[in-house]
Amino acid sequence: MGNKALMVIDIQNDITKNYKKIIDRINRAIDWAVTENMQIIYIKHNNLSPGTRTFKPDTKGAELVPEMKVVSDNIFVKTKANAL
């Protein structure tokens, strides 16, 4: 594999109720990256703030959306609002 990667960030159940409008485009981008022999990296957000209601670790809301293609084990968890 080369030095290029596709990063898929925060496509989790709690991110938006309207993700179904964009999931086909995300999956097409993943398919394209696979054909280009790129690494696919998934970033999940876990909210560790006390009393949080979204992105709470070990909840359905923090899981990647089920319609998204997950083609690698490169799944990383972040606890800050910025994946950079």
Q: Give me the tens of pLDDT residue by residue for the chain, a chain 84 residues long.
A: 568 999 999 999 987 778 888 999 999 999 999 999 999 999 999 988 888 888 899 999 999 999 999 999 999 999 987 766
Residue 6 φ/ψ, nearest 5 degrees: -105, 125
Is the entire prediction scored with pTM above 0.75? yes
Q: What is the distance between the alpha carbons of residues 57 and 45, in angstroms, rounded to a whole number?
A: 9
Q: Are 27 and 68 in contact (CB under 8 A)?
A: yes
Q: What is the pLDDT of residue 1?
A: 59
Q: What is the distance between the alpha carbons of residues 78 and 6, in angstroms, rounded to a whole number?
A: 17
Residue 65 φ/ψ, nearest 5 degrees: -65, 140
Structural domains of the chain, count: 1
Q: Evaluate whether residue 13 is within a structural domain.
A: yes
Q: What is the CATH number of the domain that holds 36?
A: 3.40.50.850
